[in-house]
Amino acid sequence: MISIITAVYNGEKFIESCLQVVIDQNCLEVEHIIVDGGSSDKTVDIIKDKANQYPHIRWISEKDRGQSDALNKGIAMAQGEIIGVLNVDDFYEINVLNRICEIFKTLPEPSLIVGNCNVCNLEGKLITINKAKQLRTIDLLLERRINEDGIIDASFPLNPSAYFYHKSLHQQIGLYKVEEHYAMDVDFLLKAVRSSHVKYFNETWGNYRYYPGTKTFDDSVRGMSLVRIRQLFNDYIKTLPLIEQWQIWLARNINFSLLKIFYFSKHPERLPESIKQRLTKYSRT
């Protein structure tokens, strides 16, 4: 069985479509666990109505300490061997869950599998496609993979709608960090890739809505996303063996130097004046 976990709070705008997304997957081996944080809008009424119609929907509604705490509650409730996290405003491609169940039949435990993810706006218009092909620890930790908007670029899985993993993985790496309210998925992935069999599939599985008013979008606009992620990366690097720390340091600095060389070869007029003078002096000699 696959357990899809959705954490929600005052999500009446999307909760019905979220529930319907899983229903429309027509997967016989799925349960959809909804962890509501004590919503004051119509979210719980919508959940109740759908749960009365579809027995695969299981839910609780109570105050929590944030999204990470809600996800941990969902994991505790999960009866499936496979975990997927679906944010209330995101959605799957058609027939993804049956495909995931089929893939996991042949995988060693614990495994983490990652597919492609469409990044779209509120109306569903495609912005970009996230293809997280490089999933080694060193690939994930390179700062060059964070773009200027503070969004981790295509090398890092952007959204949990495009990855799934064995529930037993949590026995090795622990649960989601309750005190982390913004980058809990990044923290999870950094730990997961070191403790699981990781495999990338060049198939589109998830759709991630990125739009104003959401926690992630607004955090990026304030410039805090980049700060949080870099701090998380740097803290994690300190836990690695010294040889890996050096590998990451070299990769960061060598690649940055190459980027500078490439940039100034295209724009020599932007070189610092002191370097221009030195180049002129050497050219004369």
Mean pLDDT by 10 residues, the chain (285 residues): 97 97 97 97 97 98 95 97 97 97 97 95 86 81 53 70 98 91 86 94 95 73 72 85 82 58 55 58 56
In a domain, 253, yes or no: no
3-state secondary structure of 57: strand
Residue 137's pLDDT is 80
User: Which CATH number goes with the domain that contains 184?
Assistant: 3.90.550.10
In a domain, 257, yes or no: no
CA distance 196 to 244: 18
Any idea which residue has 């869950």 for tokens? 97
In a domain, 241, yes or no: no
Domain with 57 in it: 2-213
Residue 62's pLDDT is 97
Contacts of 219 (CB under 8 A, 6+ apart): 150, 182, 225, 228
User: pTM to 2 decimals?
Assistant: 0.81
In a domain, 245, yes or no: no
In a domain, 94, yes or no: yes
Residue 150's pLDDT is 43
> Which region holds residue 234: left if phi is over 0, alpha if psi is between -120 and 50, else beta?
alpha
3-state secondary structure of 177: coil
Contact in structure between 248 and 143 (CB atoms under 8 Å): no
- Number of folded domains in the chain? 1
Q: What value, to the nearest 5°, has the Cα angle with vertex 120 and ends 214 and 73? A: 50
